[in-house]
Structure formats: structure tokens, C-alpha cells
Amino acid sequence: MKTDKITELFEDLDFDVVEPRAGHKDRFLEKLEQSAKEQNRRHPKTRNLWGPFLGIAASIALAIVLFGNIHMNNVTEKKGDLASVSTEMKETQDFYTSVIQKELKNIEAEKTPETEAIINDALSQLNKLETEYSKLKKDLVNSGQDKRVIYAMISNFQQRIDLLNNVLTQIENIKSLKTQSHESTII
């Protein structure tokens, strides 16, 4: 039978156990450094061309995700308005919104130190009604456009307009009292 070379090597115990010459390690490291320098001369520092493209792609992906989230949030918020029920309800909502904006402008125009407390109180009550309206919008989506919720939303608009009209009436009363008290003063 023919034996393997490895088996023969172990049987003969003929290992290469000669030590390298002195300074072998230093010569090896020197040749390694020269080789590295030659490679650097042949191939100067290579730039990673994918780095900038990956950064741009990641930025675009992030922008798309953020835009999608913002857009979806706006779409879901709009579905809860009266405008999402029908065109008549959209007209109703637009009418009430424009009246409320007009009344707010009138109130702001009448703001004086005497009426400031009344106006601030009215704005606080108006914020409460708007918070209630936000809850009603969520209820409208959850209830599947239940008529009771729609009526509550319309009632909320009417309450806001009534509140603003009452404030304007109070402001007019304050102004009339002020002019009456000045008319009775004798110079």
C-alpha cells in the first residue's frame, strides 16, 4: 500500500525547523510597506461613489414618508367635517365658518380696555366650543355620519355665533353706557 505524504512526514519526523536569518521580520515589514506605497501611487485614494447617492436617496425617502404622513393626517381630519357628508352640509359649514370669522373680526375691532375682559372670556368659551367640535368630528367618523352627530355639529356652530353676538351686544351696551355717562357731565 502506498502511504500518504503527510503520514510519511510524521513517520520520518522530517520537519523544517530552521530559524530564519536575523532581521528577517524587519526586512519583511519593510517590503510590505514598500508594496503598500506602490499601490497607493498606482491607485490614489478611491472615493466611495455610493455614499452621496445613498445619502440623497435616504433624504428623498424620508421626505416622501413625512409628506405621506402629513397628507394622510390632513385627509383623515377633513373626513370628519360636515363637508364630507354632502354638498349641502359643505355649504352650511362654509356659511357658519364665514359668519364666525366675520363676528370675530367685529369683536376684535371693538376691543378696548373696558371690553377686554369680556372679549377674553368669550374667546375662552369659543375655544371650548371648538374643542367640543373637534370631538364631534371624530364622533362623526366613528358613527358613520349619524344624523344626531351632524345636528350636534350644526348646533355647535350656532352656539358659537350666539356667543359672539351676545358679546357684541354687551360691547354695544358698554359703549352706550359710556356715552350716556359722558353726556351727563357738565363742563
**169 located within any domain:** yes
- Domain that includes residue 129, residue range: 53-183
| DSSP letters for 63-105 | HHHHHHHHHHHHHHHHHTSGGGT-HHHHHHHHHHHHHHHHHHH
**35 located within any domain:** no
Q: Grid coordinates 498606482 are at which residue?
A: 42
**119 located within any domain:** yes
What total of structural domains would you count in the chain? 1
Indicate if the pLDDT at residue 185 is higher than 70: no
Which pLDDT belongs to residue 76? 47
pTM score, two decimals?
Answer: 0.53
Distance of CA 63 to the CA centre of its chain: 11
**46 located within any domain:** no
Question: Between these two residues, 186 and 103, which has the higher pLDDT value?
Answer: 103
Least confident of 6-15, 19-28, 126-135, 145-154: 6-15
How many whole angstroms separate alpha carbon 134 and alpha carbon 81?
A: 9
Indicate if the pLDDT at residue 71 is higher than 70: no
3-state secondary structure 26-50: HHHHHHHHHHHHHHHHHCCCCCCCH
Q: Pick the closest to residue 97 from 135, 139, 126 (CA basis).
A: 126
**94 located within any domain:** yes
**23 located within any domain:** no
**1 located within any domain:** no
User: Per residue in 54-66, pLDDT tens?
Assistant: 778 777 887 888 8
CA distances from 169 to 38, 64, 174, 180 (A): 92, 51, 9, 16
